[in-house]
Amino acid sequence: VYKRQAQDRVVVVLEPGYADYETERRILAPLGVGVTAVGVKEDAVKALERLNPEAILVRERRVDAACFDAAPNLKAVVRYGVGVDNVDLSAARDRKIAVANVPDYGAAEEVSDQAVALYLAVARRIVTRDAQVRAGGWDFGQREPIHGHRGGTLGLIGFGRIARRAREKFGALGFSRVLAFDPALTDEQAGSARVELADVDRICSDADLVSLHAPASPETAKMIDARRIRLMKPTAIIVNVARGELIDEAALAAALREGRIFGAGLDVFAEEPPAPDNPLLALPNTVLSDHTGWYSEFSVRELQNKAAGEVARVLGGAAPEHWVNPW
């Protein structure tokens, strides 16, 4: 078991993380700082007590007051990615622990690609047709209708960098009308982006595809609920590459099971990994992936470089470039 020496300076990575941390070690070595990974099966609080790190790098694991109290030397928490809903920002601020994220890495391309891929897989019945062909089936035709999207309406809930790239890519598929909801979106911005401002109800009732790109927050929790799902067309498709908490999964599963909407493509779940009895796993009109929309080898390298750079700034006495809990 690794035991920290008094003179050691260490940054802890709370896994699941990446294949290796040579990038982080290269960037932090000039400061005399080492990097130690804490495996997903290891208790984070106990590991932090043992290692007493100066910074934490994290993807999905929860980092809360108990973690902060276990590491009295902690100066920074840096999230590999954009969302920081798994970090207790106020508790960190109270302890003067800087929290930073990496909002400018290149995942807008990857995540928007994933949204388009999930939509096409659902709309074109790729997964079920693959299984049927492998089982000897052929020529399904109109027994399993495919509705198409030319001239259709795209609804975007959230309109940040990822949604804007998705809007361009879905437009190339033939969606001619785009509705967008985002509290920060002005009429002028909507006009320049060639989208119509709409509330969530109108998006649900009018859109052929509802694509979710909003952050998780108390305001967005289960925003796609049973009532809003009832507003949707029977041919509508939902795609979620944002946060699983945005959807009432039980209501979605019921609608899919009863054929009240066409299908769903989901990269994220309220509980990750989803429980084996999650009803969405058993439905043929879902296409699912493992919160992998952000991933490419390029995006991983960029994330590791930028996250380690934020740690280096803080440990070098500067403020992080993307400081999300300033005091």
Peptide bond before 183: cis, by omega within 30 degrees of 0?
no
Alpha carbons 151 and 175: distance in angstroms, whole number? 5
Q: Closest Cα partner for 290 from 265, 315, 255, 322? A: 265
Contact indicator for 63, 38 with CB cutoff of 8 Å: no
> Helix, strand, coil: what percent of the chain each, to 5?
40, 15, 45
**Active-site residue 243, yes or no?**
yes
**Active-site residue 147, yes or no?**
no
Q: Closest Cα partner for 44 from 67, 65, 64, 60? A: 67
Of 22, 144, 168, 272, which residue is the catalytic one?
Answer: 272
Contact indicator for 215, 182 with CB cutoff of 8 Å: no
**Active-site residue 60, yes or no?**
no
- Helix (H/G/I), strand (E/B), else coil: 227: helix
Of 243, 249, 313, 322, which residue is the catalytic one?
Answer: 243
Q: Which DSSP string corresponds to 46-100?
A: HHHHHH--SEEEESSS-B-HHHHHH-TT--EEEESSS--TTB-HHHHHHTT-EEE
Of 50, 291, 313, 322, which residue is the catalytic one?
Answer: 291
Owner of token pair 């058993």: 282
User: Catalytic amino acids?
Assistant: 243, 272, 291
